[in-house]
Structure 1
Amino acid sequence: MTDRILGIDFLWANRKIIREHSALETTRKRFIELGTNTVQLAVLGQRVIVTSEPDILKTVLALEFKSFCLPDGRKKIMVPFLGEGIFTTDGIAWQHSRDMLRPIFVRSQLVEDLEMFERRVNHLIEAIPKDHSTVDLQTLFFRFTLDLATEFLFGESTNCLLPGRESESSAKFVEAFNYCQSFGDGDGMNPLSILLRFRAFKKDFVDELIKKALSNRQMAAEKSTTEPGRVTFLSQLAAETTDRVKIRSELLNLLLAGRDTTAALMANVFFELSRRPEMQSRVRREIDTCIGAGLPTFEGIKSMKYLRAVFNESLRTHPIVPENSRQAVQDTVLPLGGGEDGKSPALIKKGQLLAWSSYSMHRRGDLYGEDAAEFRPERWLDDANEKGLRVGWEYLPFNGGPRICIGQQFALLESSYVVIRILQSFSHIESRDAEPWREKLMLTCISLGGCKVALTPNA
């Protein structure tokens, strides 16, 4: 089915709804108005397919994985920022990047990461006001995840949550990285502007650490393969190559995911918990049962079924990457999307784009029930009468197929640890924001209003 908004009109309308922070909901409503889950747009003479259909995504991301690549436009925007790494490459280069990442996400490594989590969470808890004043947890979470991600990847942290501990180069790093995130709001889409602003960041904090790692390559190689304890991604890269551009690009690609997605997830969870005292109480009771008063353990976190349901529901209603796209590298037949009702097979030709809205798909009533727009973690849990949700391609918070997020377990473990420790440290969390959740599209999607709350410390 062809959308009624064509060409330049579509681009102008899209820019407008992004600035109004209503793009995701507008897309969802457009599917409903057109009576289909797949539409075809003519944008500047190019045909683009936009879908929220699970079977199409299964084809694109898995069954016909090699028939699609990252869009050329995405690479042009992101390569000046991140370089060539796991989020900006395809084929052999992408597979090589993914293979290098695997050792830092094995289960034994995740268990050892808990000590690092605790150290960084203590800094986070210290930064939260204890006088019941309003604080934006989303801002603190972005600092926390940057501190943790840089320690995790580089072996040296930016220390954003520790005033006076930041080096001058790490301060520049934070400023430049934050600036580069802002281009998704429509005010900084000039790739040249991004590149010039980011250059100082690349040549200071990151390159300083790369130089340090390469100065004694043999020591880095031995540490990454023989010494027990935490393996940093930088030490692995330094053991494999002396190409500083390659090392820097791989680090920045992973840093983007390690920082932004996890911070947004934690902020969204607390946004919901702070408005739902009964839900907050249920998580606290589960902490008492599975964790107790001590520090969270890997096994204890894994046993918390309700907390995992809260995360699942947050990722369903507020997916961190709510939209994505691929470009066909050869003519391919999609199982749906053709015909007036969008239920017949459709041909996507070489070079054409296919975009999808996980946000729209996650809120489809025919997939999740009439209450699909509601935040209800219980839908994921088994009870005496029925089983909880068992999802497939209709639920894609971490993508799917060969490019499924390799760090999803790390992100969920980190987020769970933070939620548990904050609830252990504060007896009550109260929302200080009457506004509903609204989108802010950047490279990822975050809450426009943040997560404004007041926390009551334990007596």
Structure 2
Amino acid sequence: MANNLRGKKKKKGADLYFQDRIFARKNGCFETKTTMPSYFFGFDHLWKLLKAYGENESMEFAQRWHNEFGNTFNLPFGVGRTVVRTCDPKNVQAILATKFNDFEIAVRQKPFGPLLGNGIFVSDGKAWEHSRALLRPNFVRNQISDIAVYEKHVSQLIKHIPLDGSTVDLQDLFLRMTIDSATEFLFGQSTDTLGNGKSKTGNSSFAENFSISQAKSLTRLLLGPFVVFHRDSEFVKASEESRKYVRRIVEETLEQRALQAEKGSLEGESYVFLHELAKRTQDEKMLTDQLLNILLAGRDTTAALLSITFFTMAKREDVWSKLRTEVLKLEGRQPSFEDLKSMTYLQWVMNEILRLYPIVPFNIRVANKNTVLPTGGGPCGTLPIFIRKGQEVQYSVYTMQRLPEFFGADSNEFKPERWEKLRPGWAYLPFNGGPRVCIGQQFALTEAGYTIVRIVQQFERLESRTPEAFKGNVGLTLSSEYGAKVALTPIQA
């Protein structure tokens, strides 16, 4: 009996092998030009990458891989696990858009599920479509362009900046500001971590637990199928506490809305993301999942963009000076949404920061069927390659957005002026692309732009207090290893 089963498995394996060969030949596929040599079944590569993450050198490490082995190559990554690594815009466009239905993100469910549940960033297929349809209407322009949403929290942040030229870590302040503004926008009640001692202990604990859980999720993602062996009690506790906090707010909101509905007093209330979602569903778990997913994007993308912008500008007096010249044209007036969109140099600065330091430096997809990527195969590495059902494709946005063929020989340099004529297409994806393009990108860019302008209006000088060059700390999103330690000199009356 056992021999029969083994025989059937061998036959099935042989059949799949020949089916794959036929599919590849039919679609004109070639072997990937390069396969990285490995030892111990590719566990050496996994160990080196995890080590690079621990030393905050993972982005540069991946770029060196591509410099040595090409824009697309095979990477043995553990027993029975060979992934395709790519930074080619044509392949990334296929994965995210033209062959969108051939790939899924199921690889995220086990690593992120304890925190994010089955929300928009960890779901596929019908579940993802439902999430997208549920969330997208809430990111309409009139909500994003409501400057009052940003001013309250930016004003609070500015109060924490020393006026005597002493050092302040703006990264810490930006993280606190963005969780305060995001929780107010999403939940209707702010964590108020920048408040004057009025923040509840539970709010502070939530911010801390949320940070711990997402920081530890990346290691779980890199482990791939081996995540089932991962044990981390701190991660489990932080995830559980984060979900309890949001679930409690959801429960309170649903109860409150039920009472208001009885009294007929729902109309005329101020905009709250959760309240709008509650009009479409009263499923407590779904609401909790979606809120945590949007909070992850809304908080970290904006805080990272702001922190890295000020870290960089503090070392570039020429950029700070040009930006101040543009901002001063407002004559102290708070910028409107239209003002922000028309400030060309401000947009160039943010574009260039997001190019050099994409908030999500790498990403992963898994093929849900046999499929093809347009380039990377053959002796020249320009022919189509076969991607087997179940195979993992990892793409490096960090490397792609520094390719000299798209951004010039100085592609590793910070140069906002390059955006005067630059039109990089799929080589520039700071907020992803295709059907999964970030639905909150305009919210993040508006909040970041507004915050930059308001700080520039208050201070005339910006000095770096970090001698080191920028070093990225990659969690689920990118941050600065050294924070954003600067000194700001207020404008004299």
Q: TM-score range by the shorter chain?
A: over 0.9
Distance 1:68 1:185 in 2: 20
From 33, 50, 73, give the equivalent of 1:39. 73
Matching residue of 1:83: 117
From 127, 140, 151, give the equivalent of 1:106. 140
From 43, 48, 64, give the equivalent of 1:29. 64
Helix, strand or coil for the counterpart of 1:341? coil
Structure 2 unaligned segments of length 5 or more: list them. Answer: 1-33, 222-229
**TM superposition score normalised by structure 1:** 0.93
Distance 2:257 2:218 in 1: 41
Asked whether the equivalents of residues 71 and 325 of structure 1 are also in contact (C-alpha less than 8 Å), the reply is no
Asked whether the equivalents of residues 336 and 342 of structure 1 are also in contact (C-alpha less than 8 Å), the reply is yes
Tell me the CA shift for residue 16 of structure 1: 1.4
1:198 and 2:239 matched = yes
Asked whether the equivalents of residues 116 and 289 of structure 2 are also in contact (C-alpha less than 8 Å), the reply is yes
The structure having more radius of gyration, on CA atoms, is: 2
User: What amino acid is the match of 1:448?
Assistant: E
Matching residue of 2:95: 60
Asked whether the equivalents of residues 220 and 238 of structure 1 are also in contact (C-alpha less than 8 Å), the reply is no
Distance 1:229 1:425 in 2: 33
Provide, for residues 103-156 of structure 1, a one-character-per-residue CA deviation record: whole Å limited to 9, x for no partner.
Answer: 2211112222x1021111110000111111111101110000000000010010
Matching residue of 1:135: 168
Asked whether the equivalents of residues 82 and 249 of structure 1 are also in contact (C-alpha less than 8 Å), the reply is yes
Moved more, 322-331 or 14-23: 14-23
Residue 285 to residue 218, structure 1, CA distance change in 2 (3 Å): same
Matching residue of 1:309: 348
From 197, 200, 219, give the equivalent of 1:167. 200
Moved more, 350-359 or 212-221: 212-221
Matching residue of 1:3: 36
Tell me the CA shift for residue 181 of structure 1: 2.8
Residue 375 to residue 295, structure 1, CA distance change in 2 (3 Å): same
User: What amino acid is the match of 2:168?
Assistant: V
Helix, strand or coil for the counterpart of 2:145? helix
1:436 and 2:475 matched = no
User: What amino acid is the match of 2:105?
Assistant: L
From 302, 305, 325, give the equivalent of 1:262. 302
Residue 220 to residue 439, structure 1, CA distance change in 2 (3 Å): farther
From 329, 333, 341, give the equivalent of 2:380. 341
Distance 1:305 1:348 in 2: 42
User: What amino acid is the match of 2:236?
Assistant: L
Provide, for residues 8-53 of structure 1, a one-character-per-residue CA deviation record: whole Å limited to 9, x for no partner.
Answer: 111111111111211111111221122x200101222222100000
Residue 269 to residue 21, structure 1, CA distance change in 2 (3 Å): same
Distance 2:247 2:109 in 1: 23
Moved more, 353-362 or 99-108: 99-108
Tell me the CA shift for residue 228 of structure 1: 5.7
Matching residue of 1:246: 286
Asked whether the equivalents of residues 377 and 385 of structure 2 are also in contact (C-alpha less than 8 Å), the reply is yes
Identity of aligned residues (%): 44
Give the paired residue count: 447
Helix, strand or coil for the counterpart of 1:40? strand
Helix, strand or coil for the counterpart of 1:449? coil
From 407, 410, 428, give the equivalent of 1:368. 407
1:120 and 2:153 matched = yes
Asked whether the equivalents of residues 51 and 355 of structure 1 are also in contact (C-alpha less than 8 Å), the reply is yes
Matching residue of 1:271: 311
User: What amino acid is the match of 1:2?
Assistant: T
Residue 360 to residue 229, structure 1, CA distance change in 2 (3 Å): farther
From 299, 305, 312, give the equivalent of 2:338. 299
Asked whether the equivalents of residues 429 and 455 of structure 1 are also in contact (C-alpha less than 8 Å), the reply is yes
1:324 and 2:324 matched = no
Residue 222 to residue 76, structure 1, CA distance change in 2 (3 Å): farther
Residue 101 to residue 191, structure 1, CA distance change in 2 (3 Å): farther
1:15 and 2:44 matched = no
Helix, strand or coil for the counterpart of 1:253? helix
Distance 1:368 1:308 in 2: 17
Question: What's the RMSD between the two structures over aligned residues?
Answer: 2.0
Asked whether the equivalents of residues 213 and 220 of structure 1 are also in contact (C-alpha less than 8 Å), the reply is no
Helix, strand or coil for the counterpart of 1:374? coil
Distance 2:241 2:478 in 1: 26
User: What amino acid is the match of 2:407?
Assistant: Y
Distance 2:469 2:270 in 1: 41
Helix, strand or coil for the counterpart of 1:240? coil
Matching residue of 1:385: none
Distance 1:191 1:326 in 2: 25
Provide, for residues 168-213 of structure 1, a one-character-per-residue CA deviation record: whole Å limited to 9, x for no partner.
Answer: 221221121121133157599646542233223322x323321221
Distance 1:191 1:58 in 2: 36
Distance 1:354 1:308 in 2: 32
Matching residue of 2:31: none
Matching residue of 1:284: 324
Asked whether the equivalents of residues 104 and 231 of structure 1 are also in contact (C-alpha less than 8 Å), the reply is no
Moved more, 338-347 or 434-443: 338-347
User: What amino acid is the match of 2:469?
Assistant: P
Distance 2:315 2:423 in 1: 27
Tell me the CA shift for residue 427 of structure 1: 1.3
Asked whether the equivalents of residues 71 and 327 of structure 1 are also in contact (C-alpha less than 8 Å), the reply is yes
Helix, strand or coil for the counterpart of 1:337? strand
Asked whether the equivalents of residues 167 and 485 of structure 2 are also in contact (C-alpha less than 8 Å), the reply is yes
Helix, strand or coil for the counterpart of 1:335? strand
Asked whether the equivalents of residues 220 and 235 of structure 1 are also in contact (C-alpha less than 8 Å), the reply is no
Matching residue of 2:434: 401
**TM superposition score normalised by structure 2:** 0.87
Matching residue of 1:417: 450
Distance 1:107 1:116 in 2: 13
Matching residue of 1:390: 423
Tell me the CA shift for residue 253 of structure 1: 0.5
